[in-house]
């Protein structure tokens, strides 16, 4: 027993073993003695709670440091935390995508940025910081929209972690990974699966989830968990304001386009002069109706749809996400199955549950979606269904079909000339458009990289 050994012998034995630990794995030129001690205990030692597939050894750390390729989407509140967490957990090759540049209001939580970095691309500054602070870690930045990158880019990663602030972007990413899945004779090829870890935060609330495309619930399976954003009714804004918010929306939606105070430019929420103008108009309107509460801060919040944010919630959720990335990359523990909710308004509350797959999920179920309409229904009704249904929540769907062997666009909003040409179709009935029972419609939308197939089911 070690304790009974002479102190000198014991000291030498410890030295030998420490050296052995330092030499085995993780000893790149940039690594110093003991660097990965904290991580190694989870990779080199067997344990009673590890994943059934886990095999202790030096290879896992090697894999993390040199082979594993992980992608972080977003270099903002969650992204900065994720990059740090992954780098300090041993991940050696990390790519990061973010289309934004740094703003002053980011600095209260996006700790890889400094006042002098304002205006620079987030992905690039974040990468520079991590690369310089964590020797041996290589972060590769991509100052791009996720939609600007394609299959061949995303395919190269073992794991993708999202720290996005938009549901549309999440759904797109979700759709992209689903589109990468390959099936052979109806059986999912597991090597085509890229696990997606998704984190979201809002004030003191957050969630982290693990998605295994094709196997577990995807973003769209649980779309109802993200209720659609409610905008104020136009009649309230136009003629019956009651809240300061209504006054602000009046200035933004009605007065700005009419008065064009700065010429033909759109309202830029980041332009203090624009916000000041909206603020003053809102105050005037509020005074007219004896409404109190219009402040500059509220004005900016409404115009930019600002979501409050603090460092702490971002830290918690990114930590949970990175823990999962580590578990998955190393098979060291069974990953979260599959959804964690966090809230620290009153004490600290977490809730962990398994979100279920939706049988007819528009993103991952592979079955054509059912569209039930009478032949006398107008195309406009179909469009409204696609945008307003809680399970679809499309933004500006483009509907095409095959008629008489040819591809026909029924309605497309995003290209002006096509929108004008196809707009009359909205008032036509499905029958008038030549559609028949069982007809397949292909719908494209920003919420998905692949078109979604719908099957028309005529009702009485």
Beta carbon of residue 24, minimum distance to other proteins (angstroms, whole number): 10
Q: Residue 314: which residues within 8 A CB-CB, separation 6 or more? A: 77, 78, 80, 81, 109, 201, 206
Q: Which of 221, 235, 361, 427 is catalytic?
A: 235
Minimum distance between the CB of residue 80 and other proteins, rounded to whole angstroms?
A: 10
- Contacts with 443 (C-beta within 8 Å, 6 or more apart), sequence order: 386, 394, 397, 398, 399, 400, 451, 452, 453, 454
**Phi-psi domain of 95 (left: phi exceeds 0; alpha: psi -120 through 50; beta: other):** beta
Q: Which is nearer to other proteins, 287 or 415 (CB)?
A: 287
| 341: CB partners within 8 A, 6+ apart | 205, 206, 207, 349, 350, 351, 352, 353
User: Residue 408 Cβ, how far from other proteins at the closest point, in Å?
Assistant: 38
- CA-CA distance, 207 to 201, in Å (whole number)? 7
Cα(254)–Cα(251) distance, integer angstroms: 6
Q: Is 235 a catalytic residue?
A: yes
**How is 292-334 classified by DSSP, letter by letter?**
----HHHHHHHHTT-----HHHHHHHHHHHHHHHHHHHHT-SP
Please report how close the Cβ of residue 141 comes to other proteins at its closest, in angstroms.
19
CB of 305 to other proteins, least distance (A): 12
Cα separation, 133 vs 84, whole angstroms: 9
**Enzyme catalytic residues:** 235
């Amino acid at each position: 027993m070690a304790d009974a050994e002479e102190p000198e012998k014991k000291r030498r034995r410890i030295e030998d073993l420490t050296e052995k630990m330092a030499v085995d794995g993780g000893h790149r030129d940039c690594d110093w003695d003991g660097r990965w001690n904290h991580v190694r205990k989870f990779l080199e030692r067997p344990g009673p709670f590890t994943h059934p597939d886990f095999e202790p050894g030096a290879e896992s750390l090697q894999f993390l440091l040199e082979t594993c390729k992980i992608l972080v989407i977003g270099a903002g509140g969650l992204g900065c935390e994720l990059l740090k967490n992954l780098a300090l957990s041993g991940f050696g090759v990390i790519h990061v995508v973010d289309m934004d540049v740094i703003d002053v209001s980011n600095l209260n939580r996006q700790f890889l940025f400094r006042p002098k970095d304002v205006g620079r691309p987030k992905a690039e500054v974040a990468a520079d910081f991590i690369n310089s602070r964590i020797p041996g870690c290589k972060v590769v930045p991509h100052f791009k929209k996720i939609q600007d990158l394609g299959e061949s880019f995303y395919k190269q990663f073992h794991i993708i972690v999202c720290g996005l602030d938009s549901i549309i972007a999440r759904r797109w990413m979700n759709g992209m990974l689903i589109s990468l899945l390959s099936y052979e004779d109806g059986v999912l090829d597991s090597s085509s699966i890229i696990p997606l870890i998704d984190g979201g935060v809002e004030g003191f609330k957050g969630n982290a989830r693990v998605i295994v495309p094709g196997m577990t619930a995807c973003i769209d399976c649980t779309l109802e968990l993200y209720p659609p954003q409610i905008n104020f009714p136009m009649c309230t804004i136009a003629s019956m304001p009651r809240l300061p918010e209504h006054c602000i929306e009046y200035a933004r939606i009605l007065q700005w386009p009419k008065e064009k105070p700065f010429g033909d430019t759109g309202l830029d929420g980041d332009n203090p002069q624009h916000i000041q103008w909206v603020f003053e108009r809102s105050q005037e309107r509020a005074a007219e109706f004896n409404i109190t509460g219009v402040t500059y801060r509220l004005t900016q919040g409404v115009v930019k749809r600002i979501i409050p944010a603090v460092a702490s919630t971002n830290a918690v959720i990114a930590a949970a996400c990175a823990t999962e990335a580590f578990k998955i990359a190393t098979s060291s523990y069974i990953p979260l199955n599959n959804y964690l909710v966090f809230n620290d308004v009153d004490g600290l509350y977490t809730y962990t549950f398994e979100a279920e797959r939706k049988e007819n999920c528009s993103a991952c179920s592979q079955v054509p979606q059912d569209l039930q309409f009478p032949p006398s229904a107008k195309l406009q009704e179909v469009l409204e269904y696609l945008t307003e249904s809680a399970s679809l929540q499309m933004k500006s769907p483009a509907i095409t079909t095959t008629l008489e062997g040819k591809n026909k666009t029924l309605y497309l909003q995003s290209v002006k000339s096509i929108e004008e040409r196809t707009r009359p179709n909205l008032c036509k009935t499905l029958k008038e458009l030549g559609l028949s029972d069982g007809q397949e419609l292909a719908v494209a939308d920003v919420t998905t990289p692949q078109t979604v197939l719908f099957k028309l089911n005529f009702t009485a």
